[in-house]
A and B are shown apart, each in its own frame.
Chain A
Amino acid sequence: MVKLNINSVDCFYGSVKVLESIVFSVEGGEFVGILGPNGSGKTTLLKTIGRILKPRVGTILLDDIDVYIMRAMEVAKNIAVVPQDTSVAFDFTALDLVLMGRNPHIGFFETETEKDLAISKKSMELTNIWNLADRKVSELSGGEKQRVIIARALAQEPKLLLLDEPTSHLDINYQIEMMDLLKELCKKKGLIILAVFHDFNLAARYCDSAILLSKGRVAAIGSLDAVLNKENIQKIFHVNAIVKQHPLTNSLYVVPLSTSKPGTMRPKALTVHVVCGGGTGVSLIRTLSEHNYRLTTGVLNVLDSDYDVVCTLGIPVVSEAPFSAITEEAYKANLNKIDNAKAVVLSNTPFGYGNLKNLEGVKASLEKGITTIVVDETPIQERDFTGGKARALYMELKDKGAIFVKNCDQVLSILKTLESKTGK
């Protein structure tokens, strides 16, 4: 079985070091995703392995032979590359271009044979472009071109396939079709596939393992669980994300929430306490955290969808056991947080007996003179499941001077004026 070893490779463009101490090895039949932010060195890594950019330190061994001592012909028989940028601006037909993939297998004084044509046809059928065989490549769409280039790589019959964002121009149907095809080839023919992805979910669904690059170094390597976790995504991409197992595909999926650039927190940001529940707080919390308010929340039941979001964003929360009514203890803790806040925001939450105490908490904050904002999108009678108790409390809030608004933007503007007042 084919084997690829990358032995502590350092790569430079001129005097700039772009890859540092890269070490890993892959065996035939493995589909490896290469992930990392823009400029982290993914393309460079593929170039180095593909014998385009010689590493200054370290070796690339394919079946224990250094690719840089192999001849170009020999390398091309073993390694095929689908580059990131597939602009092809001349008049060759798609078939001509795919046949060029046969070049390493054609002798110097020979031309292509029936067999080469048959192999090219096969790979064009696999990538669904045989009907484009006679079209000029320069006149194909971005996705069609990308499939032509992939077909060319397949026609090369390599043992190692390097793909740089192979699905970037493909529609969702072809993305899946192409990935299924690659995966199948990988398993059936024992190919090694190294593919760069920006789409975590695609990578998670198809790759056996992944390499996460950051600033030219391997930040994480191994199974997808080990590489694609919340901490790594936060650390390397500065994005808060939810990472979960998808119930249907059983692979990981990643939902990015917001960027979290370090150091953008304003030193004098207001502390705002958000009272929410049942998913009504998601957009509010996201907006406020994007505007860098210091947030606290409570009381939320564990498993509430708002709770997930709050945890993902790392916001302090007073929590209660799943599906239980708010206990006295949690209520007290919540009041504590409210005391430390400069403003309290109540989201458009429905009320039942279980969370009625949250409404009382808001009332308490109002009585302490804390600015209290109520997002009132749906009339209270439609979300009152306490037979009028919630409605009565709600009316009380109105009487005692809570500020009623219709949406998040209004909340923001009120907080902004409050901030400028307290700032002075």
Chain B
Amino acid sequence: MITWNMRHKSGEKDYFERFARWKMIIIFLVLALMLTITFAVTIGPKQIPPLDAWRIIVKNIPFLGNLVGDGSSGVEYSVNQSIVLQIRLPRIIAATIVGVALAVAGVVLQGLLRNPMADPYVIGISSGAALGASIVIGLGIGFSFLGIDAIQLMAFIGGLITVFVVYNIARTGPKVPMLTVLLAGIAITSFLSAIISFIMITLGESLHALVFWLFGSFTLSSWDNVAVAMPVIIIGLIVIVIFARQLNIMLLGDDQAQQLGVDIEKLKKIMLIVASLITAAAVSISGIIGFIGLIIPHIARILVGPDHRILVPSSALAGAIILVLCDTAARTIMEPVELPVGVFTAFFGVPFFLYLLRKKKSLIM
């Protein structure tokens, strides 16, 4: 087990070395993610050689594509090409961005709420999105708007409306006490869950579709889904990285953060909006995938320390890696039967987390 946050001696000289160390961590994780994606592309009902897979991918990137030679262009190659481009890659990219979104939203909410039990769903996004999805499935609506299907759209909107309601319930004047946000989120979640249960009972044969959605799955992921969610998640990630230093200070509590020059109410508002948007974007393409948003931030914190400037990017990359691996397991282990990916995030994530927890003894926060 590598631990990156080795104790430093004599802070001054080493202080700026930490930035170099952070760069190394990020480069390492990016390489690990590439490797994971390569692995995920190659395995499935039809094995595809890694080199072929990369040739296919790179050829389809504008400009870069011209640099690679044509290679074998037989029938075999074109079959592989459509498997990679049409079936596996959209799914893998979807898992990547959902992993990024959930892990990063988890980091942000745990920091803002100063609560290690917080995850991206704690403020009600999941239940709102689930309600949106169950209404669509229940009423059997099937439209598509700019390539976004009805479930994705309604899940996204449902999630955001719920957060908006929670936020406004918690707000007292200009201030938003985060503990009240947490409690209001839990209350609204229970309330919406009751409604969803009611809908489920009346559903009949489409129950299966909803249950599958609720467990989380990338079965239906397409380039269209990805194209809509990806910009939201990337922009959200950038905003969060920009605010990373302020998020560190936020951990000292509202009063101290304010006295150190952080505009706390503005920060809370921006972070809640961004975390909600990226979570809603993630949920809208994959349904509700558990554990990533709770456990990845903790794993990352144990490995790289509490500073959000490294915690956010490394959580994002770790979330992507783990979720791609889990999804690969979900679609290959019991072929041709697909398992819900949430089964694997819990199955792999929790033991790994517990292992680190015991090794570290103290939970950081």
Q: Specify the chain B residue showing the minimal Cβ separation from A132.
A: B11
- In the complex, which of the residues A52, A83, A90, A108 has the most CB atoms of chain B within 10 Å of its own CB atom? A90
- The answer, among A72, A88, A100, A104, for a CB contact under 8 Å with B248, is A100
Q: How far is the CA of A80 from the CA of B263 in the complex (A)?
A: 15
A121–B16 alpha-carbon span in the complex (Å): 14
Whether B258 lies near A133 (C-beta < 8 A) is: no
Contact yes or no, B9 A134, CB < 8 A: yes
Contact of B255 among A71, A83, A103 (CB under 8 A): A83
Contacts of A350 in B (CB 8 A): none
Q: Does A90 contact B260, Cβ atoms closer than 8 Å?
A: no
* Cα(A51)–Cα(B258), bound, Å: 8
- Residues of B with C-beta under 8 A to A111: 19, 245, 309
With known contacts A100-B249, A100-B252, A91–B259 Cβ distance under 8 A: no
| B263–A95 CB distance below 8 A | no
In the complex, A324 Cα to B206 Cα: how many Å? 109
**A3-27: contact bitstring with B at CB < 8 Å (1 yes, 0 no)?**
0000000000000000000000000
A/B pair count, beta carbons within 8 Å: 80
Distance (Å) between the CB of A319 and the closest chain B CB?
A: 55
Task: Evaluate contact between B263 and A71: CB separation under 8 angstroms.
Answer: yes
List residues of chain A with CB within 8 A of the CB of B256.
81, 83
User: Chain B's nearest CB lies how many Å from the CB of A389?
Assistant: 72
Mask for B19-38, Cβ within 8 A of A = 1, else 0? 10000000000000000000
Q: Report B-chain residues with C-beta under 8 Å of the C-beta of A71.
A: 263
Contacts of B249 in A (CB 8 A): 100, 103
Cβ of A92 and Cβ of B260 under 8 Å apart? Answer: no
Produce 1/0 per residue, A70-84, CB < 8 A to B.
011101110111010
Question: Would B11 and A93 count as touching, CB distance under 8 A?
Answer: yes
Interchain CB contact under 8 A, B259 and A50: yes
Contact A90 B263 (CB under 8 A): no
Q: Is A393 an interface residue (CB 8 A)?
A: no
Q: Could you tell me if B12 and A133 are in contact, using CB atoms closer than 8 angstroms?
A: yes
Contact string against A for B residues 339-365, beta-carbon threshold 8 Å, 1 for contact and 0 otherwise: 000000000000000000000000011
Taking CB atoms, residues of chain B closer than 8 Å to A96 are 248, 307
Interface residues of B in 212-258 (CB under 8 A from A): 242, 245-246, 248-249, 251-252, 255-256, 258
Q: A91-B364, A100-B249, A103-B245 are in contact. Are A73 and B263 (CB under 8 A)?
A: yes
> Chain A nearest CB: distance from B255 CB in Å?
5
Known: A51-B258, A103-B249. A92 touches B307 (CB 8 A): yes
B309, chain A: closest CB distance, angstroms? 8
Docked CA distance A90–B252 (Å): 9
Given A100-B252, A103-B249, does the pair A52, B263 have CB atoms closer than 8 Å? no
Within the complex, the shortest CB–CB distance from A74 to chain B, in Å, comes to 8
Closest Cβ neighbor of B301 among chain A residues: A91
Tell me, yes or no, whether B305 is within 8 Å of chain A by CB.
yes
Q: A88-B252, A90-B251, A134-B7 are in contact. Are A121 and B12 (CB under 8 A)?
A: yes
- Cβ of B191 < 8 Å from any Cβ of A? no
Q: How far is the CA of A51 from the CA of B263 in the complex (A)?
A: 12
A90 near B364: Cβ-Cβ < 8 Å: yes
Q: In whole Å, how far is B359's beta carbon from the nearest beta carbon of chain A? A: 15
Nearest CB in chain A: distance from B236 CB, A: 18
**B161 within 8 A of partner (CB):** no
Contact B260 A76 (CB under 8 A): yes
| Cross-interface CB contact of A47 among B251, B255, B305, B307, cutoff 8 Å | B255
Indicate whether B43 reaches chain A with its CB closer than 8 angstroms.
no
Collect the chain A residues with CB atoms within 8 Å of residue B11's CB: 93, 95, 133-134
Interface readout for A47-81 with B: 1 if CB under 8 Å, 0 if not? Answer: 10011100000000000000000011101110111
User: Most chain-B CB neighbours within 10 Å: which of A91, A104, A121?
Assistant: A91
- Least CB separation from B243: chain A residue: A108
CA distance A134 to B9 in the complex (A): 7
Contacts of B186 in A (CB 8 A): none
Contacts of B242 in A (CB 8 A): 108-109
Of B10, B11, B252, B262, most A-chain CB atoms within 10 Å:
B11
Q: Measured between alpha carbons, how far is A89 from B242 in the docked complex, in Å? A: 24
Minimum C-beta distance from A44 to chain B (A): 12
Q: CB-CB < 8 A to B264: which residues of A?
A: 72
Q: A75-B261, A76-B259 are in contact. Are A92 and B10 (CB under 8 A)?
A: no
With contact pairs A90-B306, A91-B364, A117-B15 given, residues A79 and B259 touching in the complex (Cβ less than 8 Å): yes
List A contacts of B260 (CB < 8 A). 76, 100-101, 103-104, 156
B46 at the interface (CB under 8 A from A): no
Complex Cα distance, B306 from A93, in Å, reads 10
Q: Is the CB of A103 within 8 A of B262?
A: yes
Which B residue's beta carbon lies closest to that of A73?
B261
Complex Cα distance, B252 from A103, in Å, reads 13
Say yes or no: A72-B258 contact (C-beta < 8 A), given A90-B365, A100-B252.
Answer: yes
Q: A133-B10, A133-B11 are in contact. Are A91 and B306 (CB under 8 A)?
A: yes
When distances are taken between beta carbons in the complex, the residues of chain A under 8 Å from B15 are 95, 117
B259 adjacent to A52 (CB under 8 Å):
yes
- Nearest B residue to A102 by beta-carbon distance? B260
Shortest beta-carbon distance from B302 to chain A in Å: 9
For the complex, what is the distance from the CA of A114 to the CA of B16, rounded to whole Å?
A: 9
- Residues of chain A within 8 A (CB-CB) of B305 are 91
B246 surroundings in chain A (CB, below 8 A) = 103
Among B9, B19, B263, contact of A72 (Cβ-Cβ < 8 Å): B263
- State A325–B256 Cα separation when bound (angstroms): 65
Chain A residues within 8 Å of B10, by CB: 133-134
Whether A80 contacts B12 in the complex (CB less than 8 A), given A91-B305, A91-B306, A134-B7, comes out as: no
CA distance A68 to B251 in the complex (A): 23
Residues of B within 8 A of A75 (CB): 259, 261
Q: Which chain B residue shows the least CB distance to A50? A: B259
Max count, chain B CB within 10 A of own CB: residue among A81, A88, A134? A134
B249-288 at interface with A (beta carbon < 8 Å): 249, 251-252, 255-256, 258-264
In the bound complex, residues from chain B placing their C-beta under 8 Å from that of A100 are 248-249, 252, 260
When distances are taken between beta carbons in the complex, the residues of chain A under 8 Å from B16 are: 114, 117
Q: Which residues of A contact B (CB under 8 A)?
A: 47, 50-52, 71-73, 75-77, 79-81, 83, 88-93, 95-96, 100-101, 103-104, 106, 108-109, 111, 114, 117, 121, 133-134, 156
Report 15 cross-chain contacts, Cβ distance below 8 Å, ordered by A residue: A47-B255, A51-B259, A72-B258, A75-B261, A76-B259, A88-B252, A90-B306, A90-B365, A91-B301, A95-B15, A103-B246, A103-B262, A106-B245, A109-B242, A111-B309
**List of 5 A-B pairs having minimum Cβ-Cβ separation, nearest first:** A76-B261, A104-B261, A133-B11, A73-B261, A81-B259
Starting from the known contacts A92-B251, A96-B248, 9 additional A-B residue pairs (CB-CB under 8 Å) come to A51-B258, A52-B258, A71-B263, A81-B256, A96-B307, A103-B261, A103-B262, A117-B12, A133-B12
